[in-house]
């Protein structure tokens, strides 16, 4: 799942080399933290959060197939 988020984020930003995804576990859920360059945060979040919502929907769909709970956090 982390690879998919990283792939999608790299396509959205101006600085793809700055993209990285950290995976951790919290309260029985896998937490993916997406790190991007400070200037690219707006591109990953999108207008009114549409891009972020779409990324989270993709993560939720993939997690449902594996019967997991996965959360996506966006960090600068």
First to last CA, the chain: 20
52-75 pLDDT tens trace: 999 999 999 999 998 999 999 999
Q: Which alpha helices (DSSP H) does 1-76 contain, by range?
A: 2-12, 41-45, 50-65
Q: What is the mean pLDDT of residues 11-15?
A: 96
**CATH at residue 35:** 3.30.300.20
- Label residue 20 by pLDDT band (50, 70, 90): very high
**According to the model, what pLDDT value does residue 42 have?**
95
Q: How many structural domains compose the chain?
A: 1
Which residues span the domain enclosing 33? 2-75
39-48 pLDDT tens trace: 999 999 999 9
* pTM passes above 0.95: no
């Amino acid at each position: 799942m982390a690879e998919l988020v990283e792939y999608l984020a790299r396509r959205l930003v101006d600085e793809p080399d700055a993209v990285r995804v950290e995976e951790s576990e919290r309260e029985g859920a896998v937490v993916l933290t997406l790190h991007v360059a400070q200037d690219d945060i707006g591109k990953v979040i999108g207008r009114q959060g549409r891009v972020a919502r779409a990324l989270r929907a993709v993560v939720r769909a993939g997690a449902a197939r594996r019967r997991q709970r996965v959360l996506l956090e966006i960090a600068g």
